[in-house]
Structure 1
Amino acid sequence: MNVDPAPWRRPGPLPEQRRTDVLVGVAVTTVALLNLTLANSAGQFVLGRPPSWPEQVFWTVACTLPLAVRRRRPAAVAIVISVAFIAAQYRQSPEQQVSLGALYAAVYTAGAWSADRKLARRVRIGIIAAMFGWLAVSAALAVADIPPDAFSDASGPLEPLLAVMVNTVLVNVVFFGFAYLFGDTAWTSARRQHQLEVQADQLRRSQADAAQVAVMGERVRIARELHDVVAHHVSVMGVQAAATRRVMDKDPGKARTALAAVEQSARTAVDELRRMLNLLRASGPDERPGGVGVDRVAELVANARDAGLDARFGVYGEPLPLPESLSQAVYRIIQEAITNTLKHAGATEVDVRVRYHANELEVDVADNGRGAPPGATAGVGLGLIGMRERVTAHDGTLAAESRPGGGFRVRARFPLVRVPA
């Protein structure tokens, strides 16, 4: 579980909790005053002759009414009630049952709601120590006033006075101990709830960020696919249309062949765009634009040959089954390299090679064109950016640069992952 970098301070009570405290304080004070009235009516003056009635009411109210603000001022309320309780006992006020319960509640609240943990600990320990100190003093003062026949009916194995003292100490230890421990438990529970809320909020933000990254990745993938499909076929169509214009009058047969190639390229482009749009509309989370792979590279080379290039294609090594995503990446890289050759290189030849090494798959596309302009930075076009993204996605490497003897070369290497046929 994550821990806050700064010590956590419990927030103050909510307005509804404050209103509840006021109602509880008034209710406890009413019950204490009722108990005081009954004690006076029954003559139950255990501590001795009580003070005047107004003073009894004052001490009773002082011991209970501060509970109305117990969660707003927990340490102060605990101190006020403990001082009032000891003073009330010293003055022999007969009401003590409800007042003692209010003292336990105040000690509990100081542990559960005090923002300053050191102060809360010191206040509670100080109150408990003061109470047991007062217990010892009051017991010492009361021993001298015990009549000789006070324990005439005692029949237990312990001395009567010792039994009374042990019973009083045990009861106070248990109740003050529970008030102390439960206060700490309540504060710890509130802190853990806060940490859970913080973690839930962090998780929600992380999920939102991940969703945003996924959306951006999907947009980049769609843009890359559209670029590869449209750019290649439109480039081929442009080259073939130019060839048609040049030979239309001289050789109508070649012109018809070129126009047929233009028509076929247009249909292919439309088919691929329709397939991609259908996949984008699909609701399945695993749908991906596919349908092309290394087995269709020969078609690309044939299209380049139809566009007027002296295109050659060779496969070296033992062909192996490839993961669908890798096979598609190989196809798209070769497609983009041929498209660039048609559009920019002014080349007459293009050589496409696919090599299967022991642990690596290599794709090599080279032409005899004019290469990159002097001073130009290779790899800044959208097509080459798309190539690098595809290669990086498969932990491969890409080199796109001018050849020493003229022309341009694109070489991609992928770690070879063998999959079952």
Structure 2
Amino acid sequence: MPALDDWRRPPPTGRQRRVDLGIGLSVTALALFNLLLARSAGMLSYGPSGAAEQVCWVLAVSLPLIWRRSHPDVVAVVIAVMFVGAQVRVVPEQQVASGVIFAAVYGLGAWGRDRRRARVLRLAIIAAMFVWLSVSLVLHHGMLPTDGAGPLGPLFASIVNGVLINVLIFGFAYLFGETAWLAARREHQLQLQAEQLRAAQAMAAERAMFGERVRIARDLHDVVAHHVSVMGIQAAAARRSLDRDLGTARTALAAVEDCARTAVHELRRMLGALRIAAPPDHAWSAAASRETAPERETAPEIVGRIDRVGELVERMRQAGLETSLAVYGEAVPLPDSVSQTAYRIVQESLTNTLKHAAASSVDVRLRYLARELEIDVADDGRGGPAPDGLPGPGLGLTGMRERVAIHDGAIEIGPRSSGGFRVRARLPLTESLASGATR
């Protein structure tokens, strides 16, 4: 889009052209009728022009108004020249012609695309009109009244009156034309701002939707993938124990059942969130939201919080890992976002240990420090390639980094020098929370 300083008013629309056609023809008809009245009133006792010439001059002055918006500069110049020519030939029709010259100057100011040229042409036309006024007064000074009843001389009063009327006519024509052009530019500016606002709103909505989808994708990976992984490990343990130890097999199958129920509840919650986050122009959005509302209300809410880390550790123990959990410092209430982030970090770290590390033990430590919460998960596995054999960081590690970055925290992920793999994250605590924590 062009800059506002370089803006040029667009050409008139088809409807505006049709309106100009009607106005031009109507003004021409009115001018011809006024000429008829002037001739009938005997105003042609002087002057060289005949009836046919007078009609031609009236047409030449009035008809160009048809193009006053499509070609304002040409129309203004033509009307000004024809106006002076008609007066030179002493055409008696002047009332409508004066309105036409006013409309021409106004139209040039309101619709001139080149503002510098429009300004120069208007000033030149106005100057030419005053020059012609002076010449006309000199040529027809003998026809001016010589007697009057006022304190001013009749000649002086007539000159002042003529100048004053022309100043008002052309001054208002110039001012109104400039005001109309400024109003059109202001409307264009408002349209630009409205378009930019709509674009910004659309971008904000798109970013919000993208962020929500990323969050849901992260939760799907962290929660569902974790439970499915545990289910796989427990199912394999149950299969191996069926022939040897039915008690161990029942325990493993119970863990599979519990993980499956939790995974289903998480899927329902996240699918419901996906439906709510859908754009409003989707016809199925409202119906889908209403359809899943009872499920969201009746299904138990499975929210990962730091006080449930013990359950994660216990599940790892049931899956066959030797696990330990230690909490250092005085635990303080945490904001839900921080608590859930800490939970997800532990969950993802344990899932990766179970799936990829070939570890026999894992150690989870939570430290409530003076100004931050530290989460430390270390195992004795191989700690080598990236999860799932990918060439770079897996989605789980990326999700952990994103969660920590949201809270302006820090995270270290990598193999330990003594062997194994470690995830250590630090989440800052607010001053009010940090004051209750000790080293």
TM-score by length of 2: 0.87
**1:143-182 to 2 correspondences below 5 Å:** 143=141, 145-146=142-143, 150-152=145-147, 154-182=148-176
The 1:279–1:64 alpha-carbon spacing in structure 2 relative to 1, beyond 3 Å, is: closer
Q: Which residue identity lines up with residue 24 of structure 1 in the other structure?
A: I
**1:203-282 to 2 correspondences below 5 Å:** 203-281=197-275
Residue in 2 aligned with 1:122?
120
For 2:249 and 2:53, how far apart are their aligned partners in 1?
119
For 2:344 and 2:262, how far apart are their aligned partners in 1?
15
**1:394-409 to 2 correspondences below 5 Å:** 394-409=407-422
Q: State the SS of the aligned residue for 2:375.
A: strand
Q: Are 1:381 and 2:394 matched, yes or no?
A: yes
The 1:321–1:347 alpha-carbon spacing in structure 2 relative to 1, beyond 3 Å, is: same
**Of the candidates 97, 103, 110, which is equivalent to residue 99 of structure 1?**
97
Q: What is the Cα deviation at residue 366 of structure 1?
A: 0.9
Percentage identity across aligned positions?
58
CA shift digits 1:5-64 (9 cap, x unpaired) = 661111111111111111111110111111111111112359x43521111111111111
Residue in 1 aligned with 2:29?
30
Which deviates further from its counterpart, 2-11 or 299-308?
2-11
Residue in 1 aligned with 2:375?
363
For 1:316 and 1:366, how far apart are their aligned partners in 2?
16
For 1:274 and 1:210, how far apart are their aligned partners in 2?
27
Q: CA RMSD in A?
A: 2.6
Q: What is the Cα deviation at residue 124 of structure 1?
A: 0.5
8 Å Cα contact 1:237/1:265 also seen in 2: yes
Q: What is the Cα deviation at residue 146 of structure 1?
A: 4.0
Q: State the SS of the aligned residue for 1:274.
A: helix
For 2:219 and 2:234, how far apart are their aligned partners in 1?
23
8 Å Cα contact 1:362/1:412 also seen in 2: yes
For 1:256 and 1:61, how far apart are their aligned partners in 2?
106
8 Å Cα contact 1:320/1:418 also seen in 2: no
Q: What is the Cα deviation at residue 198 of structure 1?
A: 2.1
Q: What is the Cα deviation at residue 279 of structure 1?
A: 4.5
Q: What is the Cα deviation at residue 350 of structure 1?
A: 1.1
Where does structure 1 lack aligned partners over 5 or more consecutive residues?
A: none
Q: What is the Cα deviation at residue 398 of structure 1?
A: 2.2
Where does structure 2 lack aligned partners over 5 or more consecutive residues?
A: 277-288, 291-295
8 Å Cα contact 2:58/2:93 also seen in 1: yes
Q: What is the Cα deviation at residue 419 of structure 1?
A: 6.6
The 1:205–1:26 alpha-carbon spacing in structure 2 relative to 1, beyond 3 Å, is: same
8 Å Cα contact 1:379/1:385 also seen in 2: no
TM-score by length of 1: 0.90
CA shift digits 1:80-136 (9 cap, x unpaired) = 111111111111111111001100000000111111111111110000000001111
Q: Are 1:300 and 2:298 matched, yes or no?
A: no
Which deviates further from its counterpart, 86-95 or 393-402?
393-402
Residue in 1 aligned with 2:285?
none
For 2:362 and 2:334, how far apart are their aligned partners in 1?
25
CA shift digits 1:249-299 (9 cap, x unpaired) = 333333333333223222332333334344545659xx9x86221111111
8 Å Cα contact 2:266/2:302 also seen in 1: no
Which deviates further from its counterpart, 132-141 or 290-299?
290-299
CA shift digits 1:169-204 (9 cap, x unpaired) = 111111101111111111111112122222222222
The 1:11–1:279 alpha-carbon spacing in structure 2 relative to 1, beyond 3 Å, is: closer
The 1:224–1:126 alpha-carbon spacing in structure 2 relative to 1, beyond 3 Å, is: same
For 2:357 and 2:259, how far apart are their aligned partners in 1?
21
CA shift digits 1:129-176 (9 cap, x unpaired) = 000011111112222x147xx343x22222222111111111111110
